């Protein structure tokens, strides 16, 4: 039982390290050939959005909105891939062990 507790503590420390690594990492996503670029943390916190002035058209706000949504989705997908790469070795591919927040 004591060995199991030691293993659990070690895994908890590894998970905390992996989560900290994700929080410090940055990923980006873009849309419209780079007209809209989004930067997120590896923990999927939105950091910044850059919009090329060429795409700003008061008569076509919908296109800009679509580009922002697409860029955010692209960055979120990249952040998810990074999380899988970072957390996978720690959880042994067990999908976060079924624990909330992992």
Q: Which range in 10-14, 20-24, 36-40 is most confidently predicted, on average pLDDT? A: 36-40
Token readout for 73 is: 């989705």
Phi, psi for 97 (deg, rounded to 5): 65, 10
- The model carries a pTM of 0.72
**Does residue 63 lie in a domain region?**
yes
Residue 91 reports pLDDT greater than 80:
no
In a domain, 57, yes or no: yes
pLDDT exceeds cutoff 50 at 30: yes
Does residue 102 belong to any structural domain of this protein? no
Dihedral sign (CA 91, 93, 99, 102): positive
Residue 100 lies in a domain: no
In a domain, 85, yes or no: yes
The CATH number linked to 37 is 3.30.1310.10
Number of domain units in the chain: 1
Domain span including residue 69: 2-90
Q: Average pLDDT over the chain, rounded to whole?
A: 87
């Amino acid at each position: 039982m004591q060995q199991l507790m030691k293993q659990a503590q070690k895994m908890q420390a590894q998970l905390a390290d992996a989560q900290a690594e994700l929080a410090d990492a940055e990923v980006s996503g873009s849309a419209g050939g780079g007209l809209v670029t989004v930067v997120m943390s590896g923990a999927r916190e939105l950091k910044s959005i850059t919009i090329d002035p060429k795409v700003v058209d008061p008569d076509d706000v919908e296109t800009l909105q679509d580009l922002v949504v697409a860029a955010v989705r692209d960055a979120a997908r990249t952040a998810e891939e990074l999380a899988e790469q970072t957390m996978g070795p720690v959880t042994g591919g067990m999908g976060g062990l079924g624990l909330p927040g992992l």
